Every structure is written in structure tokens, then in C-alpha cells.
Amino acid sequence: MGIKSFFVAALWLLAPAIAHAGDAAAVPVWKRGVEHQRQADLGDGTFLNPVLAGDRPDPSVLKDGDDYYLTLSSFTAYPGLPLWHSRDLINWRPVGHAITKNVGSIWAPDLVKHKGRYYIYFPARVGGTESPRRSNFVVWADDIRGPWSEPVDIGLPGHIDPGHAVGEDGKRYLFLSAGDYVQLADDGLSTVGEVKHVYDGWRYPESWDVEGYAQEGPKITFRNGWYYMITAVGGTAGPPTGHMVIVARSRSIHGPWQNAPNNPVVRTTSRDQYWWSRGHATLVEDAGGQWWMIYHGYERNFWTLGRQALLDPIAWTDDGWFVAKGGDLSQPLPKPAGKALSPHGMALSDDFRGGRLGPQWAFYDPAPDETARLSFGDGVMSLQGKGTSPRDSSPLGIIAGDLAYQFEVEMEVEPGAQGGAVLFYNDRLYAGVGSNGEQFVMHRYGLERPGKLAPSAKGGKLWLRVKHDRHIVTIHTSTDGSTWTKYPVQMEVSGYHHNVAGGFLALKPSLYAAGQGKVHFRNFRYRALD
């Protein structure tokens, strides 16, 4: 055994002890990659969570030969259902998106491959988090890179979080929230028969601080003659100690399902731990035969970043159950087997010379014809104005995964238009600055000061820079791109998150165009800060 191999093996033995022994108040130190963004791979045979930083909730991972593909909840962002590719579960590269048609807020998907074809099953809700208007859909493709089908509505409005499985009878099934399941047609595009109840779940002690029971996100894995159902309970936000992973197994897809003796297999037990609300897991095996769970969690005190993708090693026990080995995930762990793709992640900066919307961008809750507002040419992205402010203009946003960063953009505002750079959570909560080319309007708490900026007859050209440093927002403006003036108001945005405004979203660097004219954007630049 070489020195490096011995070191990695020793880390496997020590990892649980290291994870529990770490200083709960310490902030992990990541390696930096493209644009100084955080990356998990430390370059020494170990990694440090998150494996995908930023808003990457409900990750569903598919092992496909030597490759892994991942999708996740995209909620109100379109294009939606982003797809990522990896060969070691640590280093990920973007593939594209599986949906452009807005069918509602997309929740926990399941990415599967059946008889050579790829499917993504997902629920979508129209009208907000609490709206009863919802259904379940599927998209499919013969190549993971697309083209993907138009979404097929398969109904089931009383359920969310479909998880695909193939039974011992060779039939296809969808497992659903609340312990229910239903048979699928052989083509996977419709249901057969009635929904049946098959699993009552596992109940946590009443004394625990938990948002609510919410049995959801079932994922089925078949191993050594057993079907394992991995389920999330406890609510996905609320108290940091709420969300958790529970496990049940059965010899038959139809049950009965027996709960694991060590439930919950994952749970944040204290708000002092670095990762909060850990849950919603999928099992996956690496190239060396080691098994893992990939799930999401909130970074301590950074609900604003959304739920981030976390990787946790598991060990199978002699009686056929498994235990989580990663502790609280605040310390480095040995990497999975497999060849790394490089570079990890995706550049967020954009010179707008690609002739189309870059893969980092997505509209907030777009109308069917939203992309008609866009045009490109000679390093310019032109966006036709819509609405009067960020709240009704469907801003274009990116996902930031760093605790501190800044972004800037050059902006030419036509007469009658208004453009700006904001940190956007949803149409009720955002912060930043806008301009009609001559005057500024401050956006704070989802409100405008002044209440409405009158259209300019001349428009104008300016540069905006937004620095977001651990919840403190500082804005600079410039008339030439070299001499910058600090905007007279700074903001604190730690409360711009789901526990305040609902929606399960994240605070995203965003650009908007409102009013009657167009706003022309050039040279968008993102940079993570230490």
C-alpha cells in the first residue's frame, strides 16, 4: 500500500471521530476553483461538503455505467430541471436542462433510466407553496443531453415527490408522499389502477424540535434481495433539527415495509452543527463498491443560500441495514472512487457572446413567451422591459454558492425603461438598486424607495456592482466602469429566506428590466470572495 492509499484508508477509519470531534464553531476551509468559487475536491484524496454549493435541493442521482447524472428541484426557475454529470460524485459539470415550459414550481424530481431511456418524474405546483393546484409530470429523452420531451401530465394531484421503482413482477411503480404508491404503464407515461397505501412511516419522539411530520421524497434501491425505501420526514426547513432521513425495507415492492432499527439514519441533532435540516436522500454506489447517500442541507446561518447538495458515506451492517459514516459533514472525508471531471462547476460570468441565454441563467416564474424578450448581438444581452419593478418583471438569476461574493454589470437603459441588479428571493422579497439611466431607485424588503421611479426621456449608461459579504450588501455605481461611487445605503439580508417568505428558494444575484423600453446588459462578472 502506497503512502497516499494508506492515508486515505486511515481517514476512513478516523472520519467519524474527526467529524464529531471538530470545533462546532469552526468554519471549514474549501479549495477554490473557477471564479474563486468553493469546490469540494481538496486535491489530496479528500473532499469537503457541499459537493454542489448553493441552491441544489432534493438531489436525485443516477448511476449510468461509469457516469453519474444528477438533477434537482428548480422550483420557479426556468429553464428548469438542471442536469449535472460526474464520474466521482464530487466533481460535477453542467449538461443542460430538461424543461423549458413553465408548469409551476418544480419540486423533488427522480431521475431514472429504464430500458435505455431516461425519465424524470416530478411534481409541480401552481400558485405558491400552499396552493392546492398541483400535479405530477414526466419528461423523457433517449440521450441525457436531450432533446427532452414536453412535460407529460400524469395527474396524482394529491401527492408529491414521485420515486420510480421496478418491482419483482417487472412492472413499473411510482412511490409517493405519505407512504402511497401507484403502478405505471409500461411506457412510464401514465398510471394504471388506483393509488394504494403501503407504508406508515416512522415516528420521531414528540420532544424533538421538528417543523412537521411531512413523509415525502421516497427513493427505492434494490440490493441483495431487499427493496430499500429512503424517505424524508420532519419538514424541509423550520428548526435546524427537523429534517431527517429514515429507512425501511421489504422483500417485495408491495410490502410489508419494516423500519430500520437505527432510524433516523441522518439527522442534525443540534443547531451548533455546521449543516442544518439534513435530509431527502438517494443511495448510490461508487466505482469501487462503496455506497453513499446524497441529500441536501442548509449551511448554518445561511438559509439564504438554499439547500445545498451533501454527500455522506454509508456502511452496510451484517444484518442488511446501513449506517451513515460522515458525522456532521463539517470535516474532510475520503473521496469516492472514480475519475474526476475537470474543472468542477460552472462559470457564472457572462460576456453575452454566445448568441443565446447561458446555462447559468434562469427566469423567475416566466410567462410562456418570456424568451421573446431576449435578443443578443456583439456582446450585448438586450432584455425588453416588463412590469414596473423586480416583483413583476421575471428577473434573470444565477445560483451563487459562496458565503461572500460580488457581481457587476454594464447597463444601458433606453428611454422609458428601468434596469437593475438585485439579490432576488421572490416577488415579495429582494434587495438591490435600479435606474432609469438618470436616477436610482433602492430595492429593499421587496419595496421601492422612491415608491415609483418616473421614466426617463433620455435613458443612460452606467455600471452597477453588488457585494454580498455574509449577509451585508454594499452597492457601488459608476458612469465609466473605472471610478466607482459607494451607494449611500447598505443592507442586511440574512432574513431573506424560506422561513420568512416561504417558497423553498434562495437569494440569487439577478438582473431585471422593467418599463416600456429595453435594457442592454454587457460584461456580467461574478467573483467569490474569501
Task: Please choose, from the candidates 362, 98, 73, 99, the residue with its C-alpha nearest in 3D space to the C-alpha of residue 236.
Answer: 73
Q: Which residues of 434-456 are buried (b: 16+ CB within 10 A; e: fewer)?
A: bbbbbebbbbbebebeeeebebb
| β-sheet bridge partners, residue 367 | none
Give the H or E element holding residue 11: helix 3-21
389/424 Cα distance (integer angstroms)? 12
Cα atoms in the Cβ-side hemisphere of radius 13 Å centred on 305: 27
Helix (H) or strand (E) holding 3: helix 3-21
Task: List active site positions.
Answer: 58, 216
DSSP of 56-99, one letter per residue? --S-EEEEETTEEEEE---BTEESEEEEEEESSSSSEEEEEEEE
Residue in the block written with cell 457601488: 476
- Nearby residues of 312 by Cβ (< 8 Å), 6 or more positions away: 266, 281, 292, 293, 294, 295, 324, 325, 326, 329
What are the E-state strand segments in 178-225?
180-184, 191-197, 216-223
- Measured CA to CA, the distance from residue 65 to residue 484 in angstroms comes to 52
Q: Which of 187, 182, 234 is nearest to 213 (CA)?
A: 234
- List CB contacts of 249: < 8 A, sequence separation 6 or more: 226, 227, 228, 229, 257, 258, 260, 320, 321
> Cα dihedral sign for 339, 340, 341, 345?
positive
Sign of CA dihedral 136, 141, 145, 151: negative
Amino acid at 153: D
Instruction: Report the first-to-last Cα separation within the chain, whole angstroms.
Output: 37
Contact between residue 234 and residue 213 where contact means Cβ atoms under 8 Å apart: yes
Sorted by sequence, the CB contacts under 8 Å of residue 64 that are 6+ apart come out as: 113, 144
- The residue written with cell numbers 414528540 in the block is 206
